[in-house]
Every structure is written in structure tokens, then in C-alpha cells.
Structure 1
Amino acid sequence: MSAIDDMALSDEALEAWMAVKTNPRPLVRTMSALDGFVTAAVTGPRFADPQDWMCPLMGLRRDVLAKGSATDHAVFASLARIHNRIKETLFDRPQDYAPRFATRPSGGIDPRPWCQGFYAAMNLNIKKWKRLLDLDNPNHGLLLPILIYCVDKKGRPVLGKPRPGPETAHFIEHEAYKDIALVIPALRELHYVTHYDPE
């Protein structure tokens, strides 16, 4: 085990911490949303500094590594562990990548928290995502299986109201999210040069 693994919290402890943290609050509150956010940070346009997303995501001060508490350091290590796991999977075994979707109380998959976490990361770096949000961009379709589950700050569907009817409802509830595991490696490929090369 690495030093990061030794310091990191369990998933249950991290989720409990996110649920009660305030002032400032984390941008996400669940492990599924956290997984979506970190996936966007790994696969999307590059942040100038990892702390530009890591600190706001968890509601931590920018000087957390120098002045944070032991718990702050454990949270930061937990986030680094999740980042490394997602990055290593997408680079070494993209065919094994699987989003960490939530499970509904009644059973079945709920992709919404994961997608909303991904969308929160996009909004934190929105200027660099704008190109891909352009409907005329041929790669815009890569975002559709994610954005179909997202709402904006006012609770409105990001892609607009879905077409009414049972076919659309069935597609959203049971089909659309299955494409996310396919588009994430494609997004990583698309942003690879700009993400990992100096600007």
C-alpha cells in the first residue's frame, strides 16, 4: 500500500464527511457524484493546477497541505487515491472503466448523482468545456449520455425538456446511461494532448 492509501479515509467515512461538511461545503455530497466529478477532471480539459479543482470540490482551503488538519489531509489523500484509480484505469485498461453509479433504494441504477458530479466539474472549468458544448461541434454527442441526466442551478434539464412519451422515459431510465462507459475513454482521448501537455 502507498502512503496515500495509508492516509486515506474509507469510502464510507469520506461520504459521511462530505455529507456534513460546511463553510465551505463540498461541491458534491456522495461517492457517486465524487466519482463523476473526478472523472471529468481526469478526462476533460486541463486545470492549470490540480488544486484548482481538488480544493473547491471538497470545500478545502488552498493551503490545505501546509495548514490543514489531519482530517483535511486524509480527505485530500482520499481524493488523490480516487483520482489515481480513475486515471490508471483509463490509461492502462480503458475497457475496464466503469462509472460508479448510485443504486436506487428500490434497486436499479441511478446515474443522476454521477452525471451531476461530472457536470459540476465542467462548470468549474466551463470556459475550456465551452467548445464541446457547441451543438455544431462533431464531438458534442460525447456529452449527451451524461448531460441528459443533469439539471442546472434552477433545476431545469440542461438539455431542455425531454420529448414526452413512454419511449423517451424508458430510454432515459434504462438505456442512455449505458453509453457513459463508452464515451468517457473517448473524452479522455479527445482531451489527452491539451490535458497532459504544457499550455
Structure 2
Amino acid sequence: MSAIDDMALSDEALQAWMAIKTNPRPLVRTLSALDGFVTAAVTGPRFADPQDWMCPLMGLPRDVLAKLCNRSRRVCQRRQDPQLDQRDALRQTAGLCAPIRHQPSGGIDPRPWCQGFHAAMNLNIKKWKRLLDLNNPNHGLLLPILIYCVDKKGRPVLGKPRPGPDTAHFIEHEAYKDIALVIPALRELHYVTRYDDRE
């Protein structure tokens, strides 16, 4: 274990910190939502500066890197390493980028992860706008994520789902499985604009 690992907060401590942090409030409150946010930040359109997403994500001031207190430094350190880990995971396997929060029943609850992803999109919405266009052939890449998202008023981002047991079953047990497939495709779509040279 490195000195950086020793300094970083544990998952439990980080989630507790996010749950009570106010003024400003982090954009996410759970580790699952945090993972979704980071996935969008490192696979979607590029932010001009990593602080443009890291600071709002954690509810930290813009100049945090210059004026870190010990606690803030530990929070930032906890998320800087996973950002790199997430990018490496995207290169190796899609399965690591999908929602993994389990419900008490044993099923997968993709909603917090998807809401985190959606929060990152909203933070960089001008650059995501073209994928939100229904006429864009790549719009479908967002559907397995946005189907689980709600806006600030609690309304489904994609509109009210078609009523019926088949739709409910699909949303609860099937739709999230495609997230592991669309994340590498989103990464590939944005790769040219994010990195100077392709691998």
C-alpha cells in the first residue's frame, strides 16, 4: 500500500462525508453515484480543466488544490486515483463501468449510478447536447443510462415510460445490462477529442 493509499479516505468514510457535506453540497451523495459521475467525466466530452468537474462533484472550492486542508486533500486524493483506474478499466473491460450497487433483494439498482452519470452530463451539458438530439444516430447510447434518471423535479428524463408489465420488467431487470456495452462505445466516440494520439 502506498503513502497515497494511506492518506486517502476509505469508501465508508468518503460516503459518510458526502452524505453530510453542505455549503457547497457535493453533486452526488453515494459511492455508486460517484462512480457514475466519474465514468461520465472520463468517457464523455472533455472538461477544459479537471477541477471543472472534480470540485463541484465533491462540493469543494475551485482553488481547492492550492488551499487544501488535510480532510479536503484526503477527499480529493480518494477520487484522483479512481479517475485513472476508471480509464484503465474502460480500456480493459466494460463490466467494471456498469452499476454495481445491489438491492437488498440481490438485484442491481442502477439508479444512483445513472443519476451520477447524468449529473456529470448536466455539468458539461453544452458538449453533451449533440448526443441528446433524437436525430443523432448515437443518441441510443445514452438510453440505457437515461432510462433510470429523473430531473430536479423527479420527472423521468426520457418522459413517462409506456405503462405495462413488460416495460416495468424491462426497466427493473434488463435495461441496465446494456450500460456495460454503451460505455466503451461512448468512450470511443469521444476518444479523438479527449486524447491527442490514439492507442
Normalising to structure 1: TM-score of the pair?
A: 0.81
Give the aligned length.
Answer: 172
SS at match of 1:65: coil
Residue 52 of structure 1, CA deviation: 0.2
Query: Do 2:18 and 2:58's aligned partners in 1 also have CA atoms closer than 8 Å?
Result: yes
Q: How much has 1:5 moved relative to structure 2?
A: 2.3
Q: What does the per-residue CA deviation read over 1:100-153, in whole Å, with 9 as the maximum and x for residues that have no partner?
A: xxxx23331100000000000000000000000000100000000000000011
> 1:180 maps to which residue?
179
Per the TM alignment, residue 22 of structure 1 is displaced from its structure 2 partner at its CA by: 0.5
Kept in 1, the 8 Å contact 2:90–2:184? The answer is no
Structure 2 Cα separation of the partners of residues 153 and 57 of structure 1: 16
- Please tell me whether the aligned partners of residues 24 and 59 of structure 1 are also in contact (alpha carbons under 8 angstroms): yes
Identical-residue share of aligned pairs (%)? 91
Tell me the distance in 2 between the aligned counterparts of 1:117 and 1:147. 11
Distance of aligned partners of 1:139 and 1:194 in 2 relative to their CA distance in 1, 3 Å threshold: same
The residue number in structure 2 matching 1:2 is 2
In 1, distance between residues paired with 2:129 and 2:3? 37
The 2-side partners of 1:33 and 1:119 are apart by 9
Q: Secondary structure at the match of 1:17?
A: helix
- Which consecutive unaligned segments of at least 5 residues does structure 2 have? 68-86
How many Å apart are 1:85 and its aligned residue? 6.1
Q: Which runs of 4+ in 1 moved over 4 A?
A: 83-89
Distance 2:118 2:4 in 1: 27
Alignment gaps of 5+ in structure 1: 68-82, 90-97
Decide whether the 8 Å contact of 2:15 with 2:29 is kept in 1.
yes
Is the CA contact (8 Å cut-off) linking 1:44 and 1:191 kept in structure 2? yes
Distance 1:21 1:87, change over 3 A: farther
More off after superposition, 5-14 vs 15-24: 5-14
Q: Does 1:84 align with 2:83?
A: no
- Are residues 185 and 3 of structure 1, via their aligned partners in 2, closer, same or farther at CA, if it must alter by over 3 Å? farther
1:44 CA drift (Å): 0.2
Summarize deviations over 1:159-195 as a string: whole Å, max 9, x none.
0000000000000000000000110011000000112
Root-mean-square deviation (CA), in Å?
Answer: 2.3
Residue 87 to residue 34, structure 1, CA distance change in 2 (3 Å) = farther
Change (3 A) 1:185 1:36: same
Secondary structure of residue in 1 paired with 2:65: helix
Cα distance in 1 between the residues matched to 2:4 and 2:31: 18
Cα distance in structure 2, aligned partners of 1:60 and 1:166: 43
Q: Do 2:130 and 2:136's aligned partners in 1 also have CA atoms closer than 8 Å?
A: yes
Residue 86 of structure 1 and its aligned partner are, at CA, apart by 6.1
Q: Is the 8 A contact 1:26 1:56 kept in 2?
A: yes
**C-alpha displacement of 1:87:** 7.2
SS of the residue corresponding to residue 109 of structure 1 reads coil
**Does the 8 Å contact 1:24/1:60 carry over to 2?**
yes
